[in-house]
């Protein structure tokens, strides 16, 4: 296969999507296709801890990959509409053929196009924007620039949240985190890196996030009952990362 090929592999009941042999772009446990297999994808749904339900009413995803996050939202948050922007039409085909991406354009719309251009042209506001777009070399390009993050901010509803997957690895993510903080006037924070090297950044719209740890724990329990997603490890990472002040998360 050439450097631009999309590869699929399967091991121990998990199907993987690769843009190159060097790194995994998405994964699905075949027996549980709608669960979030990779740790960073679970962390990207931490907005469910930060906002009261019903949230989000509408979500935007930049970068489809194996479709894990759109599938989770579609199946576990039935009140949410999802728009996905994916630059490579082949990725959508593979997500449908091999990763069980639902075919329901009324609730899950896939737009083929450039994510940065979409942000500048689209007029809709979103409660949740998930950014997880990389090229075959693991580079985010224009999706990791301050103007792009400013465009995301402009597309947020008042209680909106942006979650960004920062593929830190050897080059780190401090510069990316600084760009996000600048675009959102420091209304942002970054989880420490997962074992995979991914770090997830969150930034908010106009409405502050302010919740006691006890309240976050209650939300985590509710989310797990309703969706099966266990966000308790995320709560502990928030505490261990020093994001809580006097047992409150506020930003």
What does the pLDDT read at residue 1?
A: 32
Q: How many folded domains does the chain comprise? A: 1
**Exposed/middle/buried for residue 193 (C-beta within 10 Å: 0-12, 13-18, 19+):** middle
Pairing of strands 108-112, 210-212: unpaired
Mean pLDDT over residues 210-231, rounded?
96
Q: 171 pLDDT band (50/70/90 cuts)?
A: low
Unique residue bearing structure tokens 């409405």 = 207
Q: How is residue 138 annotated by DSSP?
A: S
Look at the alpha carbons of 99, 104, 105, 108 in this order and tell me if their dihedral is positive or negative. negative
What does the pLDDT read at residue 152?
A: 97
Global pTM value: 0.94
What does the pLDDT read at residue 196?
A: 66
Domain harbouring 220, CATH code: 3.40.50.150
Q: 20 pLDDT band (50/70/90 cuts)?
A: low
What does the pLDDT read at residue 4?
A: 57
In this structure, is residue 14 part of a structural domain? no
In this structure, is residue 136 part of a structural domain? yes
Helix and strand tally (H, E) in the chain? 9, 13
In this structure, is residue 126 part of a structural domain? yes
Mean pLDDT over residues 212-235, rounded?
96
In this structure, is residue 242 part of a structural domain? no
The answer to whether 171 and 186 have CB atoms below 8 angstroms apart is: no
From CA 98, how far away is CA 101, in angstroms rounded? 8
Kindly give, in sequence order, each residue whose CB lies less than 8 Å from that of residue 152, ignoring residues fewer than 6 positions away.
119, 129, 131, 162, 183, 203
Mean pLDDT over residues 202-212, rounded?
96
In this structure, is residue 43 part of a structural domain? yes
* Tokens representing residue 231 in the block: 């966000």
Strand order in the sheet with 210-212: 210-212, 248-250, 244-245
90: left (phi over 0), alpha (psi -120 to 50) or beta: alpha
In this structure, is residue 169 part of a structural domain? yes
In this structure, is residue 207 part of a structural domain? yes
Unique residue bearing structure tokens 């069980």 = 100
Half-sphere exposure at residue 194, Cβ-oriented, CA atoms within 13 angstroms? 17
Which residues constitute the domain of residue 94?
36-227
Q: 140 pLDDT band (50/70/90 cuts)?
A: confident
In this structure, is residue 24 part of a structural domain? no
Hey, how many other C-beta atoms are within 10 angstroms of the C-beta on 37? 18
Q: 246 pLDDT band (50/70/90 cuts)?
A: confident
Query: Could you report the per-residue pLDDT of 30-42, keeping only the tens digit for each?
Result: 999 999 999 999 9
What does the pLDDT read at residue 197?
A: 72
């Amino acid at each position: 296969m050439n450097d631009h090929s999309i590869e699929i592999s399967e091991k121990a009941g998990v199907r993987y999507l690769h843009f190159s042999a060097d790194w995994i772009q998405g994964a699905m446990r075949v027996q549980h296709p709608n669960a979030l297999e990779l740790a960073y994808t679970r962390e990207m749904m931490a907005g469910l801890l930060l906002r009261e339900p019903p949230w989000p009413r509408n979500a935007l995803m930049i970068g489809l990959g194996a479709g894990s996050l759109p599938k989770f939202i579609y199946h576990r948050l039935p009140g949410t509409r999802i728009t996905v922007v994916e630059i490579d039409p082949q990725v959508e085909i593979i997500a449908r053929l091999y990763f069980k991406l639902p075919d329901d354009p009324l609730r899950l719309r896939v737009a083929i196009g450039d994510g940065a251009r979409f942000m500048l042209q689209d007029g809709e506001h979103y409660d949740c924007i998930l950014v997880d777009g990389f090229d075959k070399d693991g580079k985010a390009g224009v999706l990791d620039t301050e103007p792009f993050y400013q465009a995301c901010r402009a597309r947020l509803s008042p209680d909106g949240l942006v979650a960004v997957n920062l593929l830190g690895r050897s080059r780190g993510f401090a510069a990316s985190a600084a760009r996000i903080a600048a675009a959102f006037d420091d209304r942002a924070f970054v989880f420490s890196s997962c074992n995979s090297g991914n770090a997830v950044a969150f930034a908010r719209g106009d409405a502050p996030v302010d919740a006691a740890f006890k309240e976050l724990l209650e939300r985590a329990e509710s989310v797990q009952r309703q969706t099966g997603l266990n966000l308790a490890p995320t709560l502990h990472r928030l505490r261990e990362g020093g994001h809580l002040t006097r047992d409150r998360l506020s930003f």
